Structure 1
């Protein structure tokens, strides 16, 4: 092989290596990809308890500033940013930016109403701003809640296709900012969405007997962060550990209390 040919091959190898390790758009480092079995803490209420010995914390994006995220990073943890992507919340600072035309039925939580996820033109910039907030505060990932409006009485004629389009839009907005993103619930669409999301977050799959629906995430090497509220540990830990889920019991207020498997 001539010196010129060797130089061309070397350049191609370097380019391939760079492509494999390049961060996602807008990020300064490769996206974090949590593996199955990763322990976690999920706390959306109250002052963050730093005493839980786990590598991942999932906390409210609006309620926790960059200094909280930096402290968790110094403690060696990855930090997930909780935002509501499927419902309007009247207590958030950006509540006034949502036009009334996209506000649907109450979803059972005080001050919340389902969003018309068909209106990508309206919701894309609003959700982009929320996810950008997560990026600016230093979070590693996003947990967008209520990505299953199509299975609920939202006040809008939502279909599976509407939900797939909306969920993929949310995933793209996170990836464009170098953040990983979790699929929250929406078990019926796991096969279609597992390639778009980096992990899953699930509530009560054991309660309703459908934890096996999350197997595609585990088989893809992606963590499934799972909680139960009503069942005692001995009613679900055996099954969920066998399936590779990261499981614990929490109270509905999602304070610091936890009982892991």
Structure 2
């Protein structure tokens, strides 16, 4: 979910950056990021466009087509962050979501889980969000809150509901020529790795789960990974061994980063 809170704590930081070229595929095909490609993930604060990495992941609503074009001129691929599993009261399309599909809060101010079973309601709303990403010139989509079935959403969501919905989101992106990433949802990686072009993961090292992302690496698909509470010395060696695209970030997901 979009990180808007700061947590206290001290981190010992080590600098570094790993960068490898991405494979763009055949002309006219969607982007296929490969394991180990370096990235920047910034969802808050004034966007720093000067980070020397091949991939940026930024908020799809907050940034303009001109910003995406500027990043492209700088040689960056650009991922469009949108929430597909939670309602956000601060988005311009918030009033279009009927109350019947709004569940419990997901722990972030102004956000509530969605009833992902109601694809009759949610598909056109999410299609419009992915259309926004395409119209602004993004290369890919990072759909967030993709594991509601593991949380107290207020709805009796099952694993099958999540698989169906996540595949729908992947199809919406692919139908528009965009790559798409699986956000967290580690339990369903074996079933979904074929439907997604990369993965985005938070804190797999802290919870000793990074090995569960191996199917993406084995499929030659990037895993964009962040930690918030560990020292880089505590997770970077394993991240490099697994070929993850790893960095240390603060919970606010501002410009600050320390890459492996």
TM-score, structure 2 normalization: 0.90
> 1:162 is matched with which residue?
161
**1:239 maps to what in 2?**
238
* Moved >4 Å (runs of 4+): none
State how far apart, in whole Å, the 1-side matches of 2:239 and 2:149 are: 26
Matched residue SS, 2:253: coil
Name 1:218's counterpart in structure 2: 217
**Inter-partner Cα distance in structure 2 for 1:177 and 1:207:** 35
Q: Which has the higher helix share?
A: 1
- Secondary structure (helix, strand or coil) at the match of 2:38 reads coil
What is the Cα deviation at residue 116 of structure 1? 0.3
Supply the distance in 1 between the matched residues of 2:40 and 2:26 (Cα, whole angstroms): 29
Match of 1:62 in 2: 61
**Higher relative contact order, structure no. (Cα contacts within 8 Å, ≥ 6 residues apart):** 2
Secondary structure of the residue aligned to 2:208 is coil
The Cα shift of 1:21 comes to 4.4
- Counterpart in the other structure of 1:77: 76
- Give secondary structure in 2 for the equivalent of 1:88: strand
Give deviations 1:106-138, integer Å, cap 9, x for gaps: 011000000000001110000000000000000
Trace 1:1-261 onto structure 2 (pairs within 5 A): 21=26, 29-261=28-260
Give a deviation string over 1:237-258, Cα, whole Å, max 9, x none.
Answer: 0111101100000000000000
CA distance in 2, matches of 1:114, 1:21: 38
Per the alignment, in what secondary structure is the counterpart of residue 236 of structure 1? helix
Q: Deviations over 1:149-208 (max 9, x none)?
A: 000000100000000000000000000000000000000000000000000000000010
Aligned partners of 1:72, 1:84: CA distance in 2, in Å?
A: 22
Structure 1 stretches of 5 or more lacking a match?
A: 1-19, 23-28
**What is the Cα-based RMSD across aligned positions, in Å?**
0.9
Q: CA deviation at 1:51?
A: 1.5
Flag structure 2 segments of 5+ consecutive residues without an equivalent: 1-24
Instruction: State the alpha-carbon separation in 1 of the partners of residues 130 and 232 from structure 2.
Output: 34
What is the TM-score with the length of structure 1 in the denominator?
A: 0.89
Q: In the TM superposition, what whole-angstrom CA distance separates every residue of 1:44-84 from its partner, at most 9, and x where no partner exists?
A: 00111012110000000000010000000000000000000
Count of aligned residue pairs for this structure pair = 236
